Amino acid sequence: MKVAIPREIKDNEFRVAITPAGVHDLIANGHEVFVETEAGTGSSIPDELYASAGATILPDAASTWQIADLVLKVKEPIASEYGHFRPGLVLFTYLHLAAEPELTHALIDSRVTAIAYETVQLPNRALPLLAPMSEVAGRLAPIVGANTMLKPNGGPGLLVPGVPGTHPAVVTVLGGGVAGTNAIGVAVGLGAEVTVLDTNIARLRELDALYAGRIKTIASNSFEIDKAVVASDLVIGSVLVPGAKAPKLVSNELVSRMKPGSVLVDIAVDQGGCFADSHPTTHTAPTFTVHQSLFYCVANMPGAVPHTSTYALTNATLPYARAIANRGWRDALEADASLALGLNTHAGSVTNAAVAEAHGLSAGTVADALS
């Protein structure tokens, strides 16, 4: 199979979909790998390393997309890439289609077979291809939040750990999943006063045992969210419904009662965001103001640490990419029910119910696509 890796062109997106080791693996399995020139430069991987691993370096995006049977990407295609879509193309990347109506319709109209990293789901409900980037985004969230709270960046001028004789920052984490757990770890490490809210009491028990009373664990409901958010200097939103839009947990009215200069970091923004006023921002212009609070809603947070993110992502995606290349997408999905849940569009139809519901479309089934 011809596997192609175009250069990411989203604002300040420096990740790349494969490492040289991944190239070597696919070529060892009998496939051809094509990499757009400078695709790995932002992740400190020069073309020479890809070439030495056996990849063919192509000069531009058009030739890279055109030669591919299978395209591997990191972020969802943006409008300028829609022209590369064509029937029969298999696209394997993060898609977040519930929050992307234009992309959804572009994939439908072009009859692309699109498999989304974020909806591949194991029997235990774990999301193996979302997990590494959730880990990165979770660990980044308290760091970017702490930076946003600096006075020159528009914040209240609060040092997260404080110093002896002063109060540390109060940090609330909404959601105790992969991203939330990683956010908690860094926030505790920074010396913050941390509260986590989740609807899963068993998960709260695990976090309570892990931190031995160093964090507060609260069963999540609207009353407790209101109470915690109003008292917070930094709120990190990390809730997720696989494939669907994130639930809105923090209203505009609630933000109006927060402390002046408080910061809200929405990790869920690529799924529509879990704060009512969230909208995607970029690393170039990461924040905006709502009432007297600052929102940080960068939709590709891991793109700020591309060297770490690229290697972490390839570690997770390569076994699935290899399976698709080795067996063809149909046989690979038939053999792996978890991978089959990643199928979002095929032959002009949406095959993910949550995506179809988000856009008022009728949904086909994965079984129909495979038949």
> Residues with catalytic annotation?
96, 270
Q: Can you tell me the distance from the alpha carbon of 171 to that of 188, in angstroms, rounded to the nearest whole number?
A: 9
CA–CA separation, 1 and 69 (whole Å): 6
Greatest distance between any 2 Cα atoms in the chain: 68
Alpha carbons 197 and 280: distance in angstroms, whole number: 24
Query: 323 near 335, Cβ under 8 Å?
Result: yes
Quick one: which of 370, 349, 354, 278 has its CA closest to 110? 349
- The one-letter amino acid code at 137 reads A
Whether the Cβ atoms of residue 344 and residue 350 lie closer than 8 Å to each other: yes
CB 6 within 8 A of CB 62: no
Q: Are 269 and 299 in contact (CB under 8 A)?
A: yes
Look up residue 53 and give its two tokens. Answer: 């691993």
